[in-house]
Every structure is written in C-alpha cells, then in structure tokens.
Amino acid sequence: MSQPQSQGVSGPLSLATLYCPTCNRENLEAFAHCHACQTPLPKRYLRVIWPDDRAPLEPGSYLAGRFLVRGPDLVLDTQPGDPPPYTDSHLALIEPYLKLFAWRLHIPQVFGLLTQPEPVLLLELGPWGKVDITADLPILQLPQTLTGLTSAVPLRQAWTKAGLFRQLNWLWQLGQLWPVLTQAGVSATLFEPEYLRVEGAILRLVQLTLNPSSETAPELGQLLQAWSEWFPVQAVATQARWTTLRENLPQAADLASTYFQTQIQAWITEVAEDYTFTFDLATQTDKGPRRKRNEDNCYPPSETFLVAESEVLTLVCDGVGGHAGGDVASGLGIQAFTAALPELRHTLISGGDIQTTLETVIHRANDLIAVQNDAEERQDRQRMGTTLVAALAQQAQLYLAHVGDSRAYWITRYGCYQVTLDDDVASREVRLGLSPYRVALNHPYAGSLIQALGVAPSAHLRPTISPLIVDEDSLLLLCSDGLSDLDRVEQYWPTLLLPLLTDANSPTDLRQACQALVELANSRNGHDNVTVALIRFRVQPPEHTPPEPNYVQIFYPSPEELGSDVLLLEENFEPEQILPDSLPPAPENLRLSWLRVAVMVLVITMLAVGGWAWYQGYWLFSPHQSDPSSPPTTNSGY
C-alpha cells in the first residue's frame, strides 16, 4: 500500500495537505478555501468499519494512500475531489445503509468500499466528533481544521442533563426509527449504547449492527427495558408514566410500535403546552442572471416577512426546467395549497390526521396541473410540471411535504441538515440498493426527476410527508435548486445562517438572510431561478425551566479568525512552510500526466454525448408506486 510520507507540514500541529476538488492544487488543511481558485475546501472525515480481525492503523499513517488516519476509526480524505473507492462485490455489506438512505438525518451513509483484501467500509455524514480523534494529536488546537466534524456527544452523557421535553423528543425519534430498522434487519443497533449519539435534539447512529438472525430479532419491549436501565428518568411522576407505558405495550410487533409512537406523541403535546413557540418567516424569489422569466413561486409571496404564534405554512415550487408553462405549473401548485388553508387549519386544531390531509392536498394540486395539461393537449415533454417543498408548523409539530428536488434544510447550532431526499434517479439507485450515492451520481441521468406535480396521474405520485419535533431555537430553509445546486447551502450556512441563532446582537434579520442567499445563488451558481423561504423557530421554555446544556464543540471561524490562525501558523513554522507555492508536491498519482489528459478528453466527450441525451430525454417519470425503495408516505424519514 502506497502511503505518502511527506504530505502536509511537519511540526507540532501535523497539518495535512488537501488537494482542491476544482483545480487539484495543494492546500494546507487549515485553509478554508483553495488559495488558487477560492473553492471551499471540504474537510471530509470518514468512519472506517474494519474487518473483525484487523487492527486499526496508527494516527498519521495513510489508508490506501489517500485517507489520513486521525483516530482508531476515523480518517480524513485528503483528495476530496476524487471519486470514492468502490467495488460492487460486497453489496450485502452496505445494503442496509442504502435501503435506509431516506433516514440519513439519523444514519450515516456509505462513502466507499476498499478491498485489501477484506472489505473496509468507509462511512460519511455521521456523528463523528473530537472524541473520535486520538486525544494527543495537536491538530485539535486549530478549530478551522475540524469543521468537517460534528458536536455530537454520547446519548448517555446528554440524557441525565436534558429536560423532559428533550428526552421525549429522543424517545419519539426512537419510535420513528424502530420499525424501519427492524424491517432492514438492523434494529440491534439501538441496543448498542456506544452507537447512540445526539447533536442537540437529533438522535444519530454511529453505525449499523446486523440482527443475529430473523428468529432472534429483538422486540420493542426488550429495547424499552434496556433503555430504562441505560437512560433513567428522575421525576417520580415521569417514572410512573414511563413504567405504565412499558407495561401496557401490546405483544404484537406492529401494534407495539404504533402504541409507543402514539403515547410519546401525546406526552410531547402535553409538555409542549407549557412552552411558547414563535415563528418568523421571510420569503424571496428571483429569476437569476441568465433566465428570461421566473418559473419559481412561493407562498407567502416573495419579500414577505411575518411573525406567527399559532401555526405557519410556507411553500416553494419550481416550475420544471425545459417544460413550457413551468411558471404556470408552479403557480397552480401554490394556488391549490392556499385554497386548502382552512382545511389544513381545521385539521390541526381538531387533532386530525394532518399527514393524510397534506397528501390529499398534494394530489389535488397534481390533478389541477394535470387537467390544465390535458386541456391544452400537452403530451410527453410538453407537459408542464413543478416541484414542491412545503412546511407546516404548529407549536412543536413540524410537517414537511415534498415532491421533486426542491429541498428543506434544518439548521441548528450543531449543524445544517438536508431533511428532504431528491426525487431523482441517483437517489432511486441508492434506495434500490444498487450503489452508494456518490457512485450513483455517475449515472447518465443522475439528476433527472422521477416525479413532479402535474406530469403523471395522482395514482403514480408518491409524495413524502415527514414529521419533526422542534424543541429548540432553529431555522428551516426551503429552497429551489437554483440555490442548493453545487452544495452552496452546505458551504455557506455557517456565515449566512448560523449567526441568526448564535449571535443575539447580529443586525442580520431573516429578510437580509434571504437576500444574501439569493445573491449567493446568483453569483456562485446563476444558472437558474432561485427561491428561498426561511422560518426561524423561537422556543421559550416555561419559567424556572433550566436551558438545555450546550455541547457545541465545533466552531466555524470568521474570516478575521481564519486570518489570525494563519498568522499563528506563521509564528510556529518557517514562512516557506506556509506559503502556497512552497507546499509539498502532489503525489505522483495526482500529477497531471498524459493519462489524465486522455481521461479529461474522454470525460468531455461523454459530457457532450450526455448533454445530447439529456436534451432528447430529460424526463424519466416512471410509475413511482412500483419503486420498492420509496419510503412510506408517512414516517418516511427526514
């Protein structure tokens, strides 16, 4: 195995060299952006699942000549622009992760798979933190090198200091995860306390554990008994209610799961009545610098700012590019929802099934657009369509409705989380268990939608309705792909959105944040219309209720702080070790050679052919009901 020994800056901080994903220039790990092209430098930390009989590598060594070992099970990808290592000869090993792709808010995802010769699994987007880095590595002194990590802490550590509302939220998420993990054959994971971590209100799993066998699959009652021992509740009244809930749990597996979720939901509703919830909402849309008209729409209308205290509804619709009448379709989608406002409000107030009502309204919007298509005799690619992402909040309850590739992001002090899953070919490949997401992105139609409103009959439409519990100040961003393309939200949320939560003295309000997001989309993307809707949740606990502990450990330095850190580096090292031109050379396998030139020519040719194919058949609307990877309409994951 080739392991570069001279990468990075030697010395007390042991900085690695990262290769820019855009221009392939060498950069110090401490840099936030490439010194040559200003591309944001991702700090991609991966968890390594080693074979049972293999000892982990020593920190400072390299796995496969690319991944710098930072802890017993943690590596840093020093070549984030290169494709992940992967072989499809061990699909059974990664299948549970692929099938649970819709639940990636809680479950890490497969990055790649090495064979050396035993399979070595690499996981990404998981709750790795400082605790996973070897404690004596001085790299922990520089915060900007750790921005790829999270502030997750073990659930055992957080449980005893959390309030009842937060504990019930974690139990509610347990109830959501239990049936899907059971179906995937990995419910044993929830019996491993060391694999349970939390990032604020979010329950996250470090990795998955296969059930021993179908005959010995664990039961929910056994899990609740184990959790009662690991995570005890203190108050006498709370303990009595928890004991009663466990004792009354039905024996049948499906009934037990439904009963548990219903009881915890009712308990949360009671506790939340003592809290005060306020919703700030702002919207903005723009046609962008290159489009002749704006096919996006939003509700409330663009440049709205309002404050609500009971419930709030907001939507973003993106008339699908390449389809005549996209602006009409997105407008009809908004129209259907606004007409249903009294129905939605009545369902919320009466305690009805809001998820079913949302699905009904979405089907109604689909039919409204489809009727218009039929009346104008539009066929195939001439049929207009639209994406939809909607958020409906009342008190602690938040419901997301989603069709297409417009997205919802949930931002807390702990991180930025994409909570919707694009309805495109790449995501379908993953949920079918065919390949990891980064591999599926190489599919010639990876970004083509498999469903949108108005294009096919409602019988073939499978909207995703996802519930969430909000128990802390947080943000919800809905946006069209004019902003989300090229990971712009993931790259810029610390500077544009996080101050809305962390800096009480920040002059930035939601309207300014929306404007900044639109400007970001137009300047860094610019190829499409852009629409954003931003909700700020303010959660005020009852008097004398202590605040939830703050476990944030990963901080995102400001430009001024980044500058001071670079100066600190200059004080610790010789100047020639800091200047970009003096960085160590790239390994031979990264240098531009005749082979790389040939590959580039081949890629350009393939892109040209792919572009022609895209023009000929952009749409791949297949009957979505026949897709076994699709999550259920309710409890479909975040």
Q: Which residue has the tokens 């890490």?
A: 108
| CB-CB neighbours of 617 under 10 Å | 11
Q: How far is CA 290 from the centre of its chain?
A: 29
* Entry field: residues in the chain: 638
CB under 8 A, 24+ apart: contacts of 5-8:
6/584, 7/62, 7/68, 7/78, 7/584, 7/587, 8/584
Q: Residue 103, SS3? A: helix
Please tell me the predicted confidence (pLDDT) of residue 237.
Answer: 85
Is the model's pLDDT at 605 over the cut of 60? no
- Tell which residue, 453, 432, 451, has the closest CA to residue 443: 432
State the Cα–Cα distance between residues 49 and 435, nearest whole angstrom: 18
> Which residues neighbour 164 within 8 Å (Cβ) at sequence distance 6 or greater?
233, 235, 238, 271
Please tell me the predicted confidence (pLDDT) of residue 128.
Answer: 96
Q: What are phi and psi of 128, to 5 degrees?
A: -85, 145
- Tell which residue, 288, 518, 297, 487, has the closest CA to residue 390: 297
For residue 357, CA distances in Å to 224, 352, 363, 392 come to 32, 8, 10, 12
Tokens in use for 509?
């309000």
State the Cα–Cα distance between residues 20 and 37, nearest whole angstrom: 9
Q: What are phi and psi of 594, to 5 degrees?
A: -60, -30
- How much of the chain, in percent, has pLDDT values that exceed 90? 71
Is the separation of the CB atoms in 147 and 43 below 8 Å? yes
Angle at the Cα of 522 from the Cα atoms of 519 and 524, rounded to 5 degrees: 100
Categorise residue 14: left if φ over 0, alpha if ψ from -120 to 50, beta otherwise.
Answer: left
Which value, to the nearest 10 degrees, does the dihedral of the CA atoms of residues 39, 45, 46, 47 take? Answer: -170
Is the separation of the CB atoms in 253 and 290 below 8 Å? no
Tens of pLDDT, residues 380-438: 888 999 999 999 999 999 999 999 999 999 999 999 999 999 999 999 999 999 999 99
State the Cα–Cα distance between residues 243 and 256, nearest whole angstrom: 15
Is the model's pLDDT at 492 over the cut of 70? yes
Q: What are phi and psi of 279, to 5 degrees?
A: -120, 120
Q: Which residue has the higher pLDDT, 506 or 364?
A: 364
Q: What is the mean pLDDT of the chain?
A: 86
Tokens in use for 176?
């959501």
State the Cα–Cα distance between residues 542 and 272, nearest whole angstrom: 9
| CB-CB neighbours of 304 under 10 Å | 16
State the pLDDT confidence band at 565, using cuts at 50, 70 and 90.
Answer: very low
pTM of the entire structure?
Answer: 0.88
Tens of pLDDT, residues 319-364: 985 556 899 999 999 999 999 999 999 999 898 999 999 999 999 9
Is the separation of the CB atoms in 404 and 398 below 8 Å? no
Tokens in use for 278?
């306020």
Beta bridge partners of 45: 76
Mean pLDDT of 443-453: 96
Domain ranges of the chain: 17-89+110-142+560-582, 153-272, 276-539
Please tell me the predicted confidence (pLDDT) of residue 558.
Answer: 60
| CB-CB neighbours of 489 under 10 Å | 23
Tens of pLDDT, residues 282-314: 999 999 999 999 999 999 999 999 999 989 999
Is the model's pLDDT at 596 over the cut of 80? no
Tokens in use for 267?
């308990």
State the pLDDT confidence band at 593, using cuts at 50, 70 and 90.
Answer: very low
Please tell me the predicted confidence (pLDDT) of residue 588.
Answer: 36
State the Cα–Cα distance between residues 64 and 85, nearest whole angstrom: 9
In 454-565 the beta strands, taken as DSSP E runs, fall at 464-469, 474-479, 530-540
Please tell me the predicted confidence (pLDDT) of residue 557.
Answer: 65
Please tell me the predicted confidence (pLDDT) of residue 323.
Answer: 56
State the Cα–Cα distance between residues 211 and 184, nearest whole angstrom: 9
Percentage helix, strand, coil for the chain under 3-state DSSP, each rounded to 5: 40, 20, 40
State the pLDDT confidence band at 168, using cuts at 50, 70 and 90.
Answer: very high
Q: Where are the alpha helices (DSSP H) in 273-340?
A: 326-339
For residue 158, CA distances in Å to 128, 161, 171 come to 16, 6, 13
Tokens in use for 35?
């010194």
- Tell which residue, 127, 160, 536, has the closest CA to residue 312: 536
Domain over 276-539 is classified CATH 3.60.40.10 = yes
CB-neighbour burial class of residue 395 (10 A; exposed 0-12, middle 13-18, buried 19+): buried
Is the separation of the CB atoms in 98 and 433 below 8 Å? yes
Please tell me the predicted confidence (pLDDT) of residue 244.
Answer: 95
State the pLDDT confidence band at 573, using cuts at 50, 70 and 90.
Answer: very low
Categorise residue 11: left if φ over 0, alpha if ψ from -120 to 50, beta otherwise.
Answer: left
State the pLDDT confidence band at 621, using cuts at 50, 70 and 90.
Answer: very low
Tens of pLDDT, residues 205-258: 999 999 987 667 899 999 999 999 999 987 878 999 999 999 999 999 989 999
Is the separation of the CB atoms in 248 and 259 below 8 Å? yes
Please tell me the predicted confidence (pLDDT) of residue 54.
Answer: 81
State the Cα–Cα distance between residues 31 and 142, nearest whole angstrom: 11
DSSP one-letter code for 237: H
Beta bridge partners of 388: 403
Mean pLDDT of 533-557: 91
